[in-house]
Chains A and B, each alone.
Chain A
Amino acid sequence: MKRSMVSVMILAAVLAFLYVPIILVVVYGFVPNGISMSFFGSDGSFLGFTGKWYKYIFTGHQSVRSLLESFWLSLIIAGLSTLASCAIGTTSALALHKWKDRLQSIHHALVYTPLIMPDILIGISLLMLFAACHVNCGFWTILIAHITFCVSYVAMTVLARLQDFDDRITEAAYDLGAGPWYAFFHVELPILLPGIVAGGLLAFTLSIDDVVITSFVNGAGTNTFPTYVSSMTKHSRNLPSVFALSTLMLVFTCVLVGLSKLITSKGQAKLKPKAS
C-alpha cells in the first residue's frame, strides 16, 4: 500500500512537470511586454493582461504576417503529405501483409529503418541527395521529405490493423464474383479505413510538428511554422503572438478531440442495445 502511495505521488509530480510549460504557453499569450516577457514594469508594478496578441492574429497585423504565412504553409504541407503518405503507406502495408517473400523482406527493412533513425539523419541524407542532384530547396523538397518520413508511420499503423483482418472476407468477395479492384474498394478499404485514418492523423501531427528535417531541406526563405518559430530565437519581439497562436491551436485540437469522443461514444451507445 505504501509503495503505491509513493508511485502515485511521483505520477502527480510528473504530470505537473509535463503541464507547467503548457500552462505557461497559455499565460504568456497575454503578456503585455513582448521583449522582457514580463507582467511587471521596470518599477515592479503589475501591468495586467493584454489581448493585443490575439487581436494581431485575427486582424493579420503586419508584425505577425510571416508567422501566419509560415503557419498556412505548415498546414498545406501537412495536408498534402498526409494524403500522399496515406496512399503510399496503405499500398505498402497491403504488400507486406499479402506476400511473404524475399522482395517483401527487403521492402520491410526499407519501411522499418526510417522509424529507428533519428530525424536529423533523414534530414542530412536528403539534403545530400538534393545537393548532389543540384535541386534548389524549397516547397517541393520539404514536401518530399515529409512524405518520406510519414510513409513508414502510416504503413506500420495500417499493417497493425491488417493483422486483425480476416482474409477470408476478401476470399468470399472473390467467390461471389468480385474483381480485385472491386474487392479492394468495396471490401478491404472500408474495413481498413480506421487504420488509415489513425495513420493519417499520426502523419499529420508529425508533419506539422517537424522542425529538424525541414530545417535541412527548406532552403533560404521558405519557413514552416516550427522552423519560423525556432528562427525567432534571435529576435524575439513577437514571441507572445507565437504563444497566443499555440493556445488557439491547443483549444482547437481539444474541441476537435472532445467532439470526436462525443460522436464515437454516442455511436457506441446506439450500437449497444442492438448488440445485446
Chain B
Amino acid sequence: MNSPLRTRRAEWLVTAPSFLWLALFFAVPAVIVLAFTFHGHDISGGVGEWSLSTWRELVDPDYPTIIWNTIRISVEVTIWSIVLAVPCAYAIARMNSRWRAIVAGSIMLPFWTSFVVRVFAWKTMLHPDGWLQACYNFLSISSEQSTILDSETAVVLVSVYSFLPFAIMPIYTAAEKFDFSLLEAARDLGAKNFYAFRKIFLPGIRQGLVSAVLMVFIPAIGSYVIPQMLGGTNCVLIGNKIFMRAIQNRNIPHASALATVMAVSVLIPIGLSMWWKKRQDMRDRQRLEAQTARLFTAGEGAAK
C-alpha cells in the first residue's frame, strides 16, 4: 500500500532536521579543518595564504614522535584491555542468568560517576606520597625510584581503567551467544583446555573481539583528558598537541593538520575491520556452499 507519508516531499521533510543539522555542524566543519591544513600560519593567530607549508612543517622532529607515541600507547592500551576483557567476558558468560545480570551491571556502574572525577581520583591515588606509589616502590626491583604520576605508565594504567568496560561488553555479548558445549566436545576429543580455548572459543567470538578493539583504540587515539591530567610533560599525545596549538598558540593550520592525521589513524583500522568482515562473510558463504555441494554429491552417490 502507498501511504501518504511515503512521498518524496515527506521524505525530505523527515530527513531535513538531522540532515541539515549534521551537514552544518559536522560535515562543513570537517571540510573547513581540511581546508585550513593547506593554509600557512598567520602570526596574529589567524589563517594565512594558501600554501603547503603546514604539511611541510609537520615533518618537524617534534610531531612524528608525538604521533608515533600516541599510536604506540593506543596499541598498548588496546592489548591490555583485550587480554583482561576476554577472561572476564568468558567468566560472565558461564554464569547463570541471575549472576550475569548483576556482574554485567556492576561493570557499567562506575560510569555513573563523572569521568573527570574518576580520573581525578586516580591522580589523587597516584600522588608521589600516596599508598600506591609506596607499593610501587616496594615492588620495583630497580634501585632507581621513579614516580608513577606524570609518566607514561600512569596514562596507560588509567586508559585501561577507563576503556576496559567498553572492551568487556562487546566480547561478553558475543560470548553469551557462544555454544559452550563445543568446548566440552573439543576436550572429549583430547584437546587441552587452553588449546580448546584458543582454537574454538576465540574464533567463535571474533566479531566481538573486533568491535572491542575499535571501542578501545578509537578513544585511546583521541585521548586528551587522561594524558593532560596524569601524563604531565612526559606524556604528550596528539590530542594534547591539538588543544595546545588550537587554544594556546592559536596556530590553527597546525591544529587542523594534526586533527587530519588523527582522523586518518582512526579511519585505517575501521576500514581494515570492514574489509576483514566482508572477507570473512564471503569465506563463510563459500565454505557453506562447498559443504552443501559435497553433501549433495555424496547423497547422489549413496542413491546410486
Contacts and interface: CB of A to CB of B under 8 A. Distances in A.
Contacts of B91: 4, 7-8, 10-11
Given A18-B165, A151-B21, A127 B116 contact: no
A24 B84 CA distance: 23
Given A11-B103, A21-B122, A114-B22, A226 B114 contact: yes
B94 A4 contact: yes
B84 A114 contact: no
Interface in B1-44: 1, 3-6, 10-11, 14-15, 17-19, 21-23, 25-30, 32-33, 36
A66 interface: no
A87 B3 contact: no
B96 interface: no
Interface string B103-118: 1001101111111111
Contacts of A119: 219, 222, 224
Given A128-B36, A226-B115, A151 B262 contact: no
Interface string A169-211: 0110011000110010000000000000000000001001101
A225 B116 CA distance: 9
Interface stretch (A44-52, A54-62, A102-110, A268-276): A102-110
B120 interface: yes
Interface residues of A, number: 87
A126 B161 CA distance: 29
B90 A95 contact: no
A161 B234 CA distance: 46
B14 A229 contact: no
Contact of B222 (A104, A121, A147): A121
Contacts of A114: 22, 26
A246 B90 CA distance: 32
Contacts of A145: 25
Nearest to B111: A205
Contacts, number: 235
Nearest to A106: B19
Nearest to B5: A180
A148 B225 contact: no
A37 B262 CA distance: 37
Label chain B's interface by main secondary structure: helix
Contact of B127 (A37, A122, A209): A37
Given A117-B263, A226-B116, A125 B29 contact: yes
A19 to B, nearest CB: 7
Contact of A22 (B19, B107, B118, B123): B118
Give the one of A117, A125, A211 with max B CB within 10 A: A125
Contact of A128 (B27, B32, B243): B32
Contacts of B28: 129
B272 to A, nearest CB: 13
Given A3-B194, A21-B125, A120 B239 contact: yes
Given A118-B222, A179-B4, A110 B26 contact: yes
Interface residues of B, number: 81
A94 interface: yes
Interface in B134-177: 161, 164-165, 168
Given A19-B110, A95-B14, A116-B270, A229 B222 contact: no
B75 interface: no
A18 B18 contact: no
Interface stretch (B58-66, B251-259, B281-289, B296-304): B251-259
A92 interface: yes
Contacts of A239: 120, 124
B127 A229 contact: no
A251 to B, nearest CB: 10
Interface in A1-60: 2-4, 6-8, 10-11, 14-15, 17-22, 24-25, 28, 37
Contacts of B30: 125
Nearest to B46: A131
A16 to B, nearest CB: 11
Interface of A: 2-4, 6-8, 10-11, 14-15, 17-22, 24-25, 28, 37, 87-89, 91-92, 94-95, 98-99, 101, 103-104, 107, 110-111, 113-114, 116-122, 124-129, 131-132, 144-145, 147-148, 151-152, 155, 170-171, 174-175, 179-180, 183, 205, 208-209, 211-212, 215-216, 225-226, 229-230, 233, 239, 242-243, 246, 249-250, 253-254, 257
Given A98-B6, A99-B11, A117-B218, 17 more contacts: A10-B88, A17-B164, A21-B125, A89-B18, A91-B15, A94-B14, A98-B5, A98-B11, A117-B263, A120-B243, A121-B222, A122-B26, A128-B33, A175-B1, A233-B123, A249-B114, A254-B112
